[in-house]
Amino acid sequence: MSATINDVAKVAGVSTATVSRVVNGKGKVGAECRLRVQKIIDELGYKPNSSAKSLASNKKLNIGLITPKISMEFFGNLAAGVEAACRESDRSLLISNSRYEQEAEVNALESLASKGCDSMILHSDYMSNDNLIACCNKYPGLVIVNRFVPEIANRCVWFDNINASMQLANYVVNNGHTDIAFLTSIYRNRDPQDRLSGAKQALFLKNIFLKEPLIAESTANIKGGRECIKELLKRGNKFTAVIAYNDLMAVGAIHELVKNGYSVPDDISVVGFDDSIVGRACIPELTTVKYPINDMAKYAVELSIQLASNKGNTTNKTHLFTSEIVQRESLKLL
Amino acid sequence: MSATINDVAKVAGVSTATVSRVVNGKGKVGAECRLRVQKIIDELGYKPNSSAKSLASNKKLNIGLITPKISMEFFGNLAAGVEAACRESDRSLLISNSRYEQEAEVNALESLASKGCDSMILHSDYMSNDNLIACCNKYPGLVIVNRFVPEIANRCVWFDNINASMQLANYVVNNGHTDIAFLTSIYRNRDPQDRLSGAKQALFLKNIFLKEPLIAESTANIKGGRECIKELLKRGNKFTAVIAYNDLMAVGAIHELVKNGYSVPDDISVVGFDDSIVGRACIPELTTVKYPINDMAKYAVELSIQLASNKGNTTNKTHLFTSEIVQRESLKLL
DNA sequence: CTGTTAGCGCATTCAA
DNA sequence: TTGAATGCGCTAACAG
């Protein structure tokens, strides 16, 4: 098979310890000796075996990412950010899909840890706070993305959905809307709840009450967005703006509104959430909120590496990212 | 740290070999002994260290995926398929982005191999056939996705872009179009070339000549699609249908056509390629060609595992996947 | 059926 | 500055 440290040592006429030193740039090695060894390394195409390396040094050089579904754009962006940061830190990235199953999340954590991941990034939708806390205690290099749990604040790289949703709702109101509908996800996990409650709060402060008849729920995809609009239209309550849980639902909403003869945004405005590619694909292009997942991913990697070397030594600092409204065409401006 | 095989052996009062046997289900172990050991394993939460495992057994249990950019939907789907297959085969997935850089592809291959990936899946856009052949010789478990190189036919899991493009072009012609424009990518890698030449051939067989004035090129994204239409409109040649290199360009084309007062598909039809989510987001929804990347990914994993255990032992069989037209709304039907 | 032993490839003492 | 020796956690003969 491929050359080992022994082969290099033999050919170079030195000990494996010396080869190890030149490979890792640690310890003292004579200048000419270093050159000679390096030459052999290049000639033989020697690459250290990372299993042996991590076994011997008890240092893990892998970082694990657990995501519900890597094929979704949001998680793809998360993975891309993590990958970039791994590359910079000369670490390898292991990926595991949890397919929205709580048990799979826990298994993945265990599995990745045993595969030499000292740092891990977890996007968890369904694990309870207590479970999350337990996991953080068990794995010092674990970082939680897109959740905030006060007890492990320093382990959370998160985004304030409530606040972002308030911003968005205010933006809609400030552009003249008072009859506002909200499209939420049928899956009652955190994000939809937070975004709905943020919108409610913001509207409440403007003396607008977001009540049941103007809230529709369905699956968090294009089809779900269409279903919601069908339902709202059937109910017959007036609305001039729609705030959707995410861009996919917003796009579905636009489709269904157009199909029913409404013009977006002239008759009805629609805004989404995430700033995903579908928002740029639909006509009119979608006004939405940017979720800085790529930046968060990079940050999370740094944090997890630091945590892993600190043995999870935690400060009180948390890691909160903020949003930004992306103004495009689907919200009519005053 | 976490429990090792030694801890389990000590507590259970057996040798490490026995523990190894029950963990791996290999060899003979007495029934009650197995139960006892298993109990200790569970109590201690023992998880085999995979570095030690692969070092000792000289078996690699990782599979590597090299992709230009994991955040793109197409590659995300590729990754998802690979991940699913890895899960079934109880292997870990390592991911590396090559960012469309040839050198990065080679580095990633080396790096992944040294990280214990005996199986690898590579999506290469820019490596030459000769390089690809060399890599396949070097890495017995390497499978190439989305390229066909005759000399290593058995290592290629591919899709016939030329043929698929011919199908699509025929479909367009059969629905009454004769004035057809083609939008291609400014990056002259394989896929755009194949799709363009496939369209040319199909049209040629119908006595339609796809000539320069009706071919526009730009970046392979939404913006590029818009640019192409701008250019075509400026040139002033008549066309009633547009075939785009991919869905993103097709969506951009639709946007620009609509902006210029054309109705799609009533005035001008547009078709894309890939069946990506943006095609379902635009209005009208895009008629396109399904690229079965998910199936191909799963297949590629099986193949690479088999190849790795065969030491690259190659048959003459190649692995070709076929396409399917996805009929939606952006092509007016006869 | 079970235990003993010898490495896998490397980093890291400790001597020299 | 360099080398020899040890062990990381595990598997795989080989004995018994």
Closest nucleotide to B55: CA versus each C1': C8
Q: Cβ(A22)–Cβ(A35) under 8 Å? A: no
Q: Is the pLDDT of residue A57 over 90?
A: no
Instruction: Say if the Cβ atoms of B277 and A282 lie within 8 Å.
Output: no
In Å, how far is B201's CA from the nearest CA of chain A? 30
Does B168 lie in the same domain as B282? yes
In chain B, count H helices and then E strands.
13, 12
CA distance B331 to B273: 13
A56 pLDDT band, cuts 50/70/90, is: confident
pLDDT of residue A309: 79
Residue B143 belongs to some domain of the structure:
no
Q: Cβ(A308)–Cβ(A146) under 8 Å? A: no
Q: Which of residues 272-331 of A touch B (CB under 8 A)?
A: 277-283, 285, 294
**Mean pLDDT of the region A49-54:** 87
Say how many CB pairs under 8 Å bridge A and B.
Answer: 150
**What is the domain range of residue A167?**
161-291
Nucleotides of C under 7 A from a protein CB: 1-5, 7-13
| Last-in-domain residue among A275, A291, A307 | A291
Q: Which of residues 79-98 of A touch B (CB under 8 A)?
A: 79-80, 83-84, 87, 92-97
A41 in contact with chain B, both atoms CB, cutoff 8 A: no
Long-range contacts of B190-193 (CB under 8 A, 24+ apart): B190/B125, B190/B147, B190/B161, B191/B125, B191/B146, B191/B161, B191/B245, B192/B220, B192/B245
Instruction: Say if the Cβ atoms of A79 and B95 lie within 8 Å.
Output: yes
Instruction: Say if the Cβ atoms of A251 and B73 lie within 8 Å.
Output: no
For testing contact with chain B, the best of A42, A58, A70, A83 (most B CBs within 10 A):
A70
Which of A70-79, A208-217, A310-319, B169-178 bottoms out in mean pLDDT, i.e. has the lowest? Answer: A310-319
3-state secondary structure of B131: helix
B69 pLDDT band, cuts 50/70/90, is: very high
Total-model pTM? 0.91
The mean pLDDT of chain A is 92
Residues A89-109 pLDDT 10s: 878 899 999 988 888 999 899
B244 in contact with chain A, both atoms CB, cutoff 8 A: no
B110 pLDDT band, cuts 50/70/90, is: confident
Residue A51 with chain B: CB contacts under 8 Å? 50-52, 54-55, 115-116
CA distance B320 to A37: 46
- Which are the contacts of B165, defined by CB distance < 8 A and separation ≥ 6? B194, B195, B196, B197, B198, B199, B202, B243, B273, B289
CA distance A274 to A279: 9
Does A285 lie in the same domain as A172? yes
Q: Is the pLDDT of residue A187 over 90?
A: no
Residue B272 with chain A: CB contacts under 8 Å? none
Residues B135-182 pLDDT 10s: 999 888 999 999 999 999 999 999 999 999 999 999 999 999 999 999
Does A286 lie in the same domain as A173? yes
Q: Looking at residue A269, which CATH number applies to its domain? A: 3.40.50.2300
Nearest 10 degrees: Cα torsion A69, A74, A76, A78? -110
Does A167 lie in the same domain as A278? yes
Q: Is the CB of A27 under 7 A from strand D?
A: yes
Q: Cβ(B121)–Cβ(B65) under 8 Å? A: yes
Could you tell me the CA-to-CA distances from B98 to A34, B70, B103 in Å, in that order? Answer: 31, 9, 8
| Residue B291: closest CA among B187, B146, B79 | B146
A313 pLDDT band, cuts 50/70/90, is: low
3-state secondary structure of A116: coil
Q: Is the CB of A59 under 7 A from strand C?
A: yes
CA distance B313 to B317: 12
A172 pLDDT band, cuts 50/70/90, is: very high
pLDDT of residue B261: 97
Q: Is the CB of A309 under 7 A from strand C?
A: no
Q: Cβ(A139)–Cβ(A121) under 8 Å? A: no
Helix B247-259 vs helix B222-235: angle between axes, to the nearest 10 degrees? 50
Q: Is the pLDDT of residue A281 over 90?
A: yes
Q: Is the CB of B57 under 7 A from strand D?
A: yes
Strands (E), B178-330: 180-185, 215-218, 241-244, 269-271, 288-290, 319-321, 324-326
The mean pLDDT of chain B is 92
**Mean pLDDT of the region A281-304:** 95
Residues B29-43 pLDDT 10s: 888 888 988 898 998
Place of tokens 């098979």: A1
**Mean pLDDT of the region A52-74:** 89
Q: Encoding tokens for residue A284?
A: 């009119």
Residue B272 belongs to some domain of the structure:
yes
| Residue A60: closest CA among B101, B115, B171 | B115
| Residue A169: closest CA among A244, A101, A73 | A244
CA distance A121 to A109: 9
- Number of independent structural domains in chain B: 2
- Kind and range of the H or E run holding A183: strand A180-185
Give me the percent of chain B exceeding a pLDDT of 90: 67
Q: Is the CB of A17 under 7 A from strand D?
A: yes
Residue B197 CB-density burial (10 A; 0-12 exposed, 13-18 middle, 19+ buried): middle
Residue B114 belongs to some domain of the structure:
no
- Amino acid identity at B81: G
- Kind and range of the H or E run holding B121: strand B117-122
3-state secondary structure of A74: helix
- Which are the contacts of A147, defined by CB distance < 8 A and separation ≥ 6? A124, A132, A156, A158, A190
| Residue A283: closest CA among A305, A258, A304, A303 | A258
Q: Is the CB of B97 under 7 A from strand D?
A: no
Q: Cβ(B228)–Cβ(B216) under 8 Å? A: yes
| Residue A239: closest CA among A247, A231, A251 | A231
B108 in contact with chain A, both atoms CB, cutoff 8 A: no
Higher pLDDT, B312 or A37: A37
**Mean pLDDT of the region A152-178:** 96
| Last-in-domain residue among A272, A291, A310 | A291
Q: Which of residues 110-169 of A touch B (CB under 8 A)?
A: 110-116
DSSP letters spanning A213-280: GGEEEE-SSHHHHHHHHHHHHHHT---SEEEESSHHHHHHHHHHHHHTT--TTTT-EEE-SB--HHHH
CA B214 to chain centre: 30
- Size of chain A, expressed as the number of residues it contains: 334
Residue A308 belongs to some domain of the structure:
no
Residue B277 belongs to some domain of the structure:
yes
A1 pLDDT band, cuts 50/70/90, is: low
Does B167 lie in the same domain as B286? yes
Residue A274 belongs to some domain of the structure:
yes
Residue B200 belongs to some domain of the structure:
yes
**Mean pLDDT of the region A208-230:** 96
Q: Is the pLDDT of residue B47 over 90?
A: no
Q: Is the CB of A58 under 7 A from strand D?
A: yes
Residue B94 belongs to some domain of the structure:
no
Q: Looking at residue B10, which CATH number applies to its domain? A: 1.10.260.40
Q: Is the pLDDT of residue B236 over 90?
A: yes
Q: Is the pLDDT of residue A126 over 90?
A: no
pLDDT of residue B73: 94
